[in-house]
Amino acid sequence: MIKIDLTHTINKIPLEAYKQDVKTINKAINNKTGLGNDFLGWTSWPKDYDKEEFERIIKTAEVIKANYDILVVAGIGGSYLGARCAIEALNGLFPTNKTKVIFIGNTLSSNYVHQVLNYLKDKNFAINVISKSGTTTETSVAFRLLKELLISKVGEEAACKAIYATTDKARGALKQEASQKGYESFVIPDDIGGRYSVLTAVGLLPIAVAGCDIRKLMAGAYDAMIEFDNEDIMTNSCYQYAVTRHYLYNCEKSVEMFVTYEPQFTQLGEWFKQLYGESEGKDQKGLLPDSATFSTDLHSLGQFIQSGTPLLFETILMIDEPNYDITIESDKNNLDGLNYLAGKKLSYVNKMAFEGTLSAHVEDGKIPNIVLTLPKMDEYNLGYLFFFFMKACAMSAYLLKINPFNQPGVEIYKQRMFKLLGKPGVK
Amino acid sequence: MIKIDLTHTINKIPLEAYKQDVKTINKAINNKTGLGNDFLGWTSWPKDYDKEEFERIIKTAEVIKANYDILVVAGIGGSYLGARCAIEALNGLFPTNKTKVIFIGNTLSSNYVHQVLNYLKDKNFAINVISKSGTTTETSVAFRLLKELLISKVGEEAACKAIYATTDKARGALKQEASQKGYESFVIPDDIGGRYSVLTAVGLLPIAVAGCDIRKLMAGAYDAMIEFDNEDIMTNSCYQYAVTRHYLYNCEKSVEMFVTYEPQFTQLGEWFKQLYGESEGKDQKGLLPDSATFSTDLHSLGQFIQSGTPLLFETILMIDEPNYDITIESDKNNLDGLNYLAGKKLSYVNKMAFEGTLSAHVEDGKIPNIVLTLPKMDEYNLGYLFFFFMKACAMSAYLLKINPFNQPGVEIYKQRMFKLLGKPGVK
């Protein structure tokens, strides 16, 4: 499905030389013997996911769509980015689906939280609170406030029916509260970390509420799982991507700029940044993941990419077929001089912007480019893409000899914040 | 107004050593003798701006607010980022002002353009098209399509009244069309480049339509202009910021991460990235400008910043007083364990997240941090901040011996794209 073009990487990528390493790591992933092997549940998830729960997610989404105008998702990190990026990638930035999905619990900004609560005052909304422990500060604070607002609007009984909890299957504060109050609950599996969780209930419920077909999403992930269960670097595009970024990293490139030509994929860049930054940014190693949306950002970061400090390479995600197209018409005055484009499709112009930029950056700028192409952006291809990036990320981190599944660095700021806030038990 | 804290930069910044360089460059800015000296109009703009036009912008904004539900701004780069970041920073992400401002002309994506046009079909909208030449591809294509839609809805006469052109004062395709059709017009000054244009009509008209007080915006910029017209590095915080980032760049830091703790400042990061990336990213030099919104992105890029490749420093923008605040209440069950925060303000928790993160990144991570603090985020302070960053940017680029006001690298992709598209006259 995905095409990878490695002819613009400036450096010739010695795929063959990675043959044995890739084989060994692939085995470690399959046998679950690598670092962080407790968190490899996502590798077989598109086959092993809980089918019963999946059907319940679809039914619940129908109930939410039928009864509420807005679903407020409270979550942070992996409990936020996957759903948001999928919904924007599929529905666009001016969506027409009925039930709006908005996000909270991903910030401690009183300005943001105030505005969301104010906006919800006269709205008919349900809540999906997503937290493994139920004690994540950002999410729990927002959930307390949201719950209070909802109860004041509709009473406790109706509020409890409008709250959906995605959390641990047995333990933790949120699970306990859900059991006590009777919230409908969904499971965050023990062996899938936040940034690999978009295909679990964490992502699936909000994505389904936004009107997207999660069966197709899972079908795409399933096909990617089958396709990339292949230890041969010469034929596995997912591992080729991992090896290429690892090789470029060793060629003194320290930043990977993830680029798309669609504004509705901007949040996909944010998901990508969490996946790679949190998986690889350890032991003073790893590529800094960055992202841009062209041609918009060619009028912003373009100058730096073209001629600034040569510290980055680009990974471009192109889509063959746009979901919508527009033909540029002729204009009798032609003051803007655009008549040379008359009769052309806008998607064609966008593609020429990509080709022109590719040659400007690679030939003039000597900036390595990896080009990935998907046939279309729909649920199937997005599920496929999610799996592609997750599996490539595991391979990449293992090539760096790093555990792709922990995030010890994130705990440091939390502990220091808890201490300042006087949290009981924190020294 | 702005406070700069240089006690977390790991490296001691030798401000004194820059004394003479700063003096010389300050003189070159004032006497307009430095590189790119044709584009220094912004340095005295808060005093020299066209007062008559300014009043006309305010009146026009009132007319637009009274007659339309939406203002569609067509522009790219500097003709897009300033207005968008100002409106979001001031009105937030769930704004309550009457007239909505949306953006087009900043992409060639047929998906995005289709969605915006579809959204506008049954809306009562005006257009502000912003382009110096009137031939910028992204903007001109969108403007053609928008105009066609508007004429089909309201007829040519009403459409011409609903179109506002911000363009060259005398020449160019858009100026010509505006004169022919009678569009109300505003001026992009000859001596102010796109990324320094937010305080001209380019930014001011959309910002005023969004209900923001542009008199206060200009007052803040004016006070910054007076304050930072000071050649003494020991007392000029704006130049201290410029010198510090230059010094850290020379200490092998290659990325500047601009960080705020407010989601509504996320676009301010995009404006920042254009300003610095396009001004400095030349001759294989310059800091890659990046941005993040905490604590959201602590659950994404936080791990990399804390423990990944040590290639970056952070510039944190904090706001002393939030516009809104919320008190965290006690909960009788306290399942989430948050009662230790009961009675505390959310803004206080956000500030402790900042302090905890600062110490985690600086003390544990050895990541240099520059901390900027503004008393409040309102029009006055934003105008002040815009000027602060623009002036610091000029100083920074001159310290690198780079022309801060051109962008030759952006032309390369355009020429290659034009060639592929068969634009007349392009070889």
Put simply, the answer to whether B413 touches A283 (Cβ < 8 Å) is no
Q: Same domain, yes or no, for B85 and B173?
A: yes
Residue B349 sits in the same domain as residue B403: yes
Whether B310 and B188 map to the same domain: the answer is: no
Domain annotation covers residue A12: yes
Q: Which domain holds residue A356?
A: 3-33+219-408
**How many Å lie between the alpha carbon of B106 and the closest alpha carbon of chain A?**
5
- Residue numbers in chain A where pLDDT is lower than 50: none
Return the SS3 of B63: helix
**Do residues A271 and A155 share a domain?**
no
CB A99 within 8 A of CB A65: yes
CA distances for A138 relative to A80, A87, B92, B266, B315, angstroms: 12, 22, 19, 18, 23
Q: Return the residue of B nearest to A357 by Cα.
A: B413
Q: Which residues of A touch B328 (CB under 8 A)?
A: 141, 144-145
pLDDT computed for residue A427 by the predictor: 82
In a domain, B148, yes or no: yes
Using only C-alpha atoms, chain B has a radius of gyration, in whole angstroms, of: 23
Chain mean pLDDT for chain B = 97
Residues B17, B90, single domain; the answer is no
In a 3-state reduction of DSSP, which class is residue B358? helix
Return d(Cα B97, Cα B269) in angstroms, integer.
Answer: 23
Kindly state the helix (H) or strand (E) to which residue A5 belongs, with its residue range.
strand A3-5
- Summarize pLDDT for A312-370 with one digit per residue, the tens: 999 999 999 999 999 999 999 899 999 999 999 999 999 999 999 999 999 999 999 99
* Residue to test with chain B: of A303, A355, A358, most B Cβ within 10 A: A303
Write down the pLDDT at residue A3.
98
Dist CA B357 CA A95 (whole Å): 36
* Domain containing residue B285: CATH number: 3.40.50.10490
The C-alpha torsion from A381 through A387 and A390 to A395, rounded to 10°, is: -110
Answer yes or no: do B276 and B311 share one domain.
Answer: yes
Could you say which DSSP state residue B405 is in? T
Average pLDDT for residues B105-129, to the nearest whole number? Answer: 98
Q: Are residues B26 and B67 in the same domain?
A: no
**Residues A222, A226, A229, CA angle at the centre, nearest 5°?**
130
How many Å is the Cα radius of gyration of chain A?
Answer: 23
**Summary mean pLDDT of chain A:** 97
Asked if the structure places residue B424 within a domain, the reply is no
Task: Please give the Cα distance from B167 to A17 (Å, whole number).
Answer: 56
Q: Note whether A302 contacts B410, CB cutoff 8 Å.
A: yes
pLDDT tens, residue by residue, A256-288:
999 999 999 999 999 999 999 999 999 999 999
CA distance A17 to A266: 34
Angstrom distances, CA of residue B409 to CA of A296, A362, B279, B390, B413: 15, 13, 11, 20, 8
- Confidence at residue A1, expressed as pLDDT on a 0 to 100 scale: 87
Picking from B360, B362, B252, the residue whose alpha carbon sits closest to that of residue B311 is: B252
Q: How many CA atoms lie within 13 A of B289 on its CB side?
A: 27
- Picking from B108, B283, B284, the nearest residue to A346 by CB comes out as B108
Residue B299 known to be catalytic:
yes
Q: How many domains does chain B have?
A: 2
Write out the H or E segment, with its range, that includes residue B274: helix B266-280
Antiparallel, parallel or unpaired: β A184-187 and A163-167: parallel
In terms of Cβ atoms closer than 10 Å to its own Cβ (0-12, 13-18, 19+), residue A235 is exposed
Indicate whether B246 pLDDT > 90: yes
Q: How far apart are CA B267 and CA B99, in angstroms?
A: 20
- Residues B360-373 have a mean pLDDT of 98
A24-51 confidence digits (pLDDT tens):
999 999 999 999 999 999 999 999 999 9
Orientation angle between helical segments A201-209 and A51-67, nearest 10 degrees: 30
A426 is a domain residue: no
Q: Tell me: pLDDT of B329 over 90.
A: yes
pLDDT digit string (tens) for B118-170? 999 999 999 999 999 999 999 999 999 999 999 999 999 999 999 999 999 99
Is residue A415 a part of any domain in this protein? no
Is there a single domain that holds both residue B26 and residue B86?
no
Please give the pLDDT value at position A265: 98
Residue B384 lies in a domain: yes
- Whether residue B68 is found in the same domain as residue B164: yes
Over 90: is that where the pLDDT of B296 sits? yes
Given this model, what pLDDT does residue A25 score? 98
Distances in whole angstroms, Cα of residue B164 to Cα of each of B59, B71, B168, B186? 13, 10, 13, 8
Share of chain B above pLDDT 70, in %: 100
CB distance A202 to A83 below 8 Å? yes
Residue A90: which of A207, A221, A223, A224 has the closest Cα? A207
Residue A244 CB contacts under 8 Å (≥ 6 apart), including other chains: A6, A9, A13, A370
Give A-chain residues touching B109 at CB under 8 angstroms: 261-264, 322, 346, 350
Non-local (6+) Cβ contacts of A376 within 8 A are A319, A320, A321, A323
- Nearest-CB residue to B173 (from A323, A335, A345): A335
Domain boundary among A191, A212, A233: A212
Same domain, A48 and A156: yes
The span from the CA of A343 to the CA of A329, in Å, is 6
Domain membership of residue B413 (yes or no) is: no
Environment class of B188 (CB within 10 Å of its CB; exposed 0-12, middle 13-18, buried 19+): buried
On the 0-12 / 13-18 / 19+ scale of CB atoms within 10 A, B379 is: buried
Looking at the domain assignment, is residue A201 inside a domain? yes
**Shared-domain flag, residues B149 and B255:** no
H/E stretch holding B83: helix B81-91
Residue in A88, A138, A270, A278 annotated catalytic: A278
CA separation for the pair A357, B413 (Å, rounded): 5
Over residues B176-227, the pLDDT tens digits come to 999 999 999 999 999 999 999 999 999 999 999 999 999 999 999 999 999 9
Alpha-carbon distance of B301 to B294, in angstroms, equals 9
Within this chain, do residues B262 and B203 fall inside the same structural domain, yes or no?
A: no
Section B49-69 average pLDDT: 98
State yes or no: cis peptide before B279, omega within 30 of 0: no
User: Of B364, B412, B421, which has the smallest distance from its Cβ to A364's Cβ?
Assistant: B412
Length of chain B: 427
